[in-house]
A and B are shown apart, each in its own frame.
Chain A
């Protein structure tokens, strides 16, 4: 397969910001670069405020209603630039071709509608031969919910967090999307439920061939389930590569993230944290935005723009001027 055929989504120098007339544009994300292949499971990792949620909102087309817009770059989805399309076209793509599982399982489903009604909302917009009811049951079965008839009649508040998230995934899958975006889908769920949801996502990817973007701040989790990892810091992608590539990180931020993982910490040993705080939006410094927190900082790090991703697309890419030096060290 050539790279053109397998490419589902490609972000090129995506720039997101708040534009207000008469005021300086507030840039939230710039230099977001990565691509997602058909059926691939890609994890986006980063601290809060790194712009990962903004990136996924750009892909699902919900930036505008928050007064945020794409101010530069491209979001190519099957060759179509999502930053240029109008609301009518979004209505066709959003929630249909591109599915979305919201951040908080507890607040995602509409509290005043029963599970059956929510599924019906998602399903009634999609052509189908069977009745909505039987299709709903099919969807709930797909996400491994038992006692479907009972659950259908229930309101979200009667379900546990894990069940709610399963329902949300069922709704998102109703239209058999090509891409599913899951924005921290296990926030607020306990660890066993978390692993069930991850297992479910993996199965969906395997059985339906859906490409999945998994957003998380948990490198260990992403490491476990994804094929490819995108690391974001202060609104820019700093490292992109396969899970295997990222086990030998080259960007100081990824190295720091990796060494602060709780799952590999030695028992009784000290927990390693990344020093300092990520720079606030609108207060990005010159040059590399990680420089102030970086152990490998050099004089050329604090000049000019945020370094771009070096290396070939499809390969291990790193946005660090001194990556080679660091790896050798």
Chain B
């Protein structure tokens, strides 16, 4: 009986130290959210400031570029005043910053369009390419990684290693050109250039760039997922699942994929940032009116407001998506800690 009493007593202790766990967790989660929002604000501010100052440091006069070589001094002066470029640097930044807070991020020197409008017309094209390629990449990567991880044959691992290396080594733009040549001119499946229409119609122009993007994503995702799957397979709870006799679908999802997906999800959220930059190449090759191409043009004409606006949007997207990625990783697997 003594041992029983002893066990009950220490059992009480054991539990009392754990009973606040959920509350503690919820508090932690809220603090994480607050921290993340604060961090996003700080990051956005710095992105804004750096883009702003780098543009002003770099050589080239946007007004002269916009007006052409035969513009009169008078016209240059008028326009410079109109855009506030004659004011001191910090005053300019203050004006820009306060404007941005109220949603006004300026006007293009070149086309006189609102930067907001420039972004809202061109961003969807880029976003579409990224979403399409990411979706396809997930769709392709999961079964590949799963089947290679579960395969007992060593040959399948070798084939997997070699083929992912090869697809990683092929540059995206090269693949894009090949694809354009083959599907565009030989098979005529893709219009060689141009862009038109709203959502379902534009798929005709977007599927090939998305596919090419996807091709460089798949090897990265499969490799990361495969290695976490291999780690998971070594874990004892997989055996628990087998012994518990859960259904196949449940086993694959709850015992293999879910505990393995977090690193892949987090990586994917970071890849979004990389891909925003990467689509610039695709948009140029396929002459799509995406935001990347717009950015290149704006930089070459020193169109300050447009460059600043696009960089700011990129920054916001990266911050937001990486937060979503971390959160998703946490929801999939509570062992993941949110920083």
Contact = CB atoms under 8 A, between A and B. Distances in A.
Contacts of B197: none
Given A95-B243, A110-B255, A125-B245, A196 B11 contact: yes
A121 interface: yes
A209 to B, nearest CB: 20
B334 A195 contact: no
A110 B15 contact: no
A112 interface: yes
Interface in B218-242: 235-237, 239-242
A158 B236 contact: no
Given A60-B243, A121-B246, A199 B237 contact: no
A243 B250 CA distance: 43
Interface in A69-123: 91, 94-96, 100, 102-104, 107-113, 121-122
Secondary structure type dominating chain B contacts = helix
Contacts, number: 101
B72 interface: no
A113 B255 CA distance: 9
A199 B3 contact: yes
A108 B240 contact: yes
Contact of A112 (B3, B6, B243, B254): B254
Interface string B245-276: 11000100011001100000000000000000
B22 A96 contact: no
Contact of B11 (A144, A153, A171): A144
B243 A62 contact: yes
Size bin of chain B's contact surface: 35 or more
Nearest to B20: A150
B245 A160 contact: no
Size bin of chain A's contact surface: 35 or more
B7 A199 contact: yes
Interface string B323-339: 00000000011110000
A180 B255 CA distance: 23
Interface centre among B8, B237, B242, B255 (most CB of A within 10 A): B237
A163 B240 contact: no
Contacts of A100: 240, 243
Contacts of B254: 110, 112-113
Contacts of B246: 121
A122 B15 contact: no
Interface string A111-147: 1110000000110010000000000000000001111
Given A112-B254, A157-B334, A158-B25, A147 B243 contact: no
B74 interface: no
12 contacts: A65-B242, A94-B245, A102-B236, A104-B236, A109-B237, A110-B255, A112-B259, A113-B254, A146-B11, A151-B15, A159-B18, A196-B10
